[in-house]
């Protein structure tokens, strides 16, 4: 088996389970185990240090007794008396081993016959005088001893003896072994409890997610009104719940617009098709002359052209949605384009007794036909909604970083809640759908797509004085720097 495959198998084996509750409880248990391990090691080291301090104090106390006794030794005749005093001073300490040597290495006193072999390792240590009182641990005859070797003065200034003191630490080791076993059992029991409690805590903490699952399971195209209560979830989950509710708001708004778009599209297609069917049925009710059939075909041609324009507009918007509208860049004189549109709409404006006025000039780099189409949609829309005897005003303002074109007309104000939707497809802002001569309601949406294709922006405002549409195009320099 290849190393790569073997590594993947090992990685899968050590991968955490795919459940948040189990992951949280497992990680919490591992962290608790780490804390218990460190705490246990610290406690064990503290107890061991305490025993060392205790043994050191005991040995120093016995050393002081030995010094006091040896202080009475002057010469060999005092040896028997001094040894008896040492035995009396050290009685009652079976775990204590003491060996005292003369200057020539001869044994002066020993607490047992085997003390020479016990102290052999201590003698080999050969420590400097400054560290003579520091404890040394060594093993002899399967027993761990702890002790030190120091020089001891006698009553004879010419004679100095060496005292070796050691204490059997078996009872300490037995205690530490039992302590470690009990500590391990306590930690295991605590870890089991901690793992159980952490699982319950994680499960309890994730209950708001179950509410989110319940809401998500109940979502459908017909049921998008239910929302999660942000105030009743933990602080850590509030951003998630807010984002979830915002997503539902967006979905609801998108579905509502899609539903309205489908309804409007069906309505707009139904009208010309019904006209075509009616005219065809009427023409078939009786024989007609060639001239009459020609007139019917011309009438049908108008409906076909209307359908073709609508389909063309829909294809244009579909391309704009996918970023497929790439405008041809050429210098565009906006004043010239607006004047040309004024000439085109002069007859319609005269029919409605509306004046057309322009102020300002400006140039930009863009697709002249697209920009003319966008302005044409605004201008025709403004003429239709301007009361007779008033004027539609087009203002062109050149600024350092943009060229602004606004089309303003007096008339009934557009409600503020409808302003953001004026650029939606087929949106007319009221329930009336009988304006057959007013287009399919795609003009403003197409104008917005054209402006965005030129990296510009659109805005609209309305009050009791006028309704104003504003197109803002970046200058040539601004486009080149983006």
Q: Three-state DSSP class for 192?
A: helix
What confidence score (pLDDT) does residue 435 get? 46
User: Taking the alpha carbons of 414, 418, 420, 421 in that order, is the dihedral positive or negative?
Assistant: negative
Q: How confident is the model at residue 128 (pLDDT cuts 50, 70, 90)?
A: low
The predicted-structure confidence for 86-122, as pLDDT tens digits, reads as follows 888 888 778 888 999 888 888 899 888 888 788 877 7
What confidence score (pLDDT) does residue 428 get? 65
Would you say 319 and 325 are in contact if contact means Cβ atoms under 8 Å apart?
yes
Supply the DSSP string of 212-280, one letter for each residue: HHHHHHT-BTTB------GGGS-GGGHHHHHHHHHHHHHHHHHHHHHHHHHHHHHHHHHHHHHHHHHHH
**Chain-wide mean pLDDT for the chain?**
84
What confidence score (pLDDT) does residue 4 get? 58
Averaged over 34-41, what is the pLDDT?
Answer: 91
What confidence score (pLDDT) does residue 17 get? 58
Residue with tokens 């001891």: 152
Would you say 425 and 445 are in contact if contact means Cβ atoms under 8 Å apart?
yes
Averaged over 295-322, what is the pLDDT?
Answer: 84
The predicted-structure confidence for 226-262, as pLDDT tens digits, reads as follows 787 788 777 888 888 888 888 888 888 888 777 777 7
Could you tell me the two tokens for 238? Answer: 């509030």
What confidence score (pLDDT) does residue 434 get? 43
Q: Which residues pair with 371 in a beta bridge?
A: none
Could you tell me the two tokens for 353? Answer: 């007794």
Q: Are strands 355-359 and 391-398 parallel, antiparallel or unpaired?
A: parallel
The predicted-structure confidence for 338-386, as pLDDT tens digits, reads as follows 999 999 999 999 999 999 999 999 988 899 999 999 999 999 989 988 9
First to last CA, the chain: 55
Coarse DSSP helix, strand, coil percentages of the chain, rounded to the nearest 5 percent: 60, 15, 25
Q: Three-state DSSP class for 304?
A: helix
By the 10 Å C-beta count (0-12 exposed, 13-18 middle, 19+ buried), 346 is classed as: exposed
Whole-structure pTM value: 0.50
What confidence score (pLDDT) does residue 350 get? 92
What confidence score (pLDDT) does residue 50 get? 93
Q: Does residue 200 surpass a pLDDT of 90?
A: no
CA distance 314 to 425: 9
Share of the chain above pLDDT 70, in %: 90
Would you say 448 and 423 are in contact if contact means Cβ atoms under 8 Å apart?
yes
């Amino acid at each position: 088996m290849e190393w790569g495959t073997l590594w993947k198998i090992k990685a899968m084996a050590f991968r955490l389970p795919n459940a948040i509750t189990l992951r949280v409880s497992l990680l919490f248990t591992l962290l608790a185990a780490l804390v218990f391990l460190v705490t246990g090691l610290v406690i064990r080291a503290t107890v061991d240090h305490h025993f060392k301090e205790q043994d050191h104090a005991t040995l120093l106390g016995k050393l002081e007794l030995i010094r006091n006794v040896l202080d009475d030794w002057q010469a060999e005749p005092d040896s028997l008396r001094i040894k008896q005093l040492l035995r009396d001073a050290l009685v009652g300490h079976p775990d204590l081993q003491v060996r005292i040597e003369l200057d020539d290495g001869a044994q002066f006193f020993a607490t047992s016959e085997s003390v020479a072999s016990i102290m052999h390792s201590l003698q080999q240590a050969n420590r400097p005088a400054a560290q003579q009182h520091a404890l040394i641990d060594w093993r002899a005859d399967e027993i761990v001893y702890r002790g030190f070797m120091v020089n001891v003065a006698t009553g004879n200034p010419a004679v100095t003896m060496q005292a070796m003191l050691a204490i059997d630490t078996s009872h300490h080791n037995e205690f530490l072994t039992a302590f470690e076993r009990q500590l391990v059992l306590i930690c295991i029991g605590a870890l089991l409890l901690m793992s159980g409690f952490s699982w319950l805590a994680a499960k309890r903490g994730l209950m708001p997610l179950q509410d989110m699952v319940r809401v998500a399971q109940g979502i459908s195209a017909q049921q998008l009104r239910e929302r999660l209560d942000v105030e009743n979830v933990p602080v850590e989950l509030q951003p998630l719940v807010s984002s979830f509710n915002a997503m539902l708001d967006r979905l609801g708004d998108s579905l509502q617009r899609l539903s309205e778009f489908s309804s409007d599209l069906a309505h707009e297609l139904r009208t010309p098709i019904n006209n075509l069917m009616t005219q065809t049925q009427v023409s078939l009710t009786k024989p007609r002359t060639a001239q009459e059939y020609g007139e019917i075909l011309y009438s049908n041609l108008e409906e076909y052209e209307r359908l073709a324009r609508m389909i063309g507009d829909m294809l244009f918007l579909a391309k704009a949605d996918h970023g497929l509208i790439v405008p041809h860049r050429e210098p565009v004189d906006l004043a010239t384009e607006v004047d040309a549109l004024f000439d085109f709409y002069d007859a319609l404006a005269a029919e409605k007794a509306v004046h057309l006025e322009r102020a300002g000039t400006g140039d930009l780099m863009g697709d002249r036909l697209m920009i003319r189409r966008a302005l044409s949609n605004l201008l025709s829309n403004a003429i239709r909604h301007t009361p007779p005897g008033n004027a539609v005003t087009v203002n062109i303002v050149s600024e350092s970083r943009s060229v602004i074109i606004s089309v303003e007309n007096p008339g009934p104000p557009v409600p503020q809640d409808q302003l953001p939707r004026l650029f939606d497809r087929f949106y007319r802002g009221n329930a009336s759908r009988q304006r057959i001569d007013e287009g399919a309601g795609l003009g403003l949406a197409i104008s917005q797509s054209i402006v965005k294709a030129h990296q510009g922006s659109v805005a609209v405002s309305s009050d009791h004085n006028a309704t104003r549409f504003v197109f803002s195009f970046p200058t040539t320099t601004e486009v080149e720097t983006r």
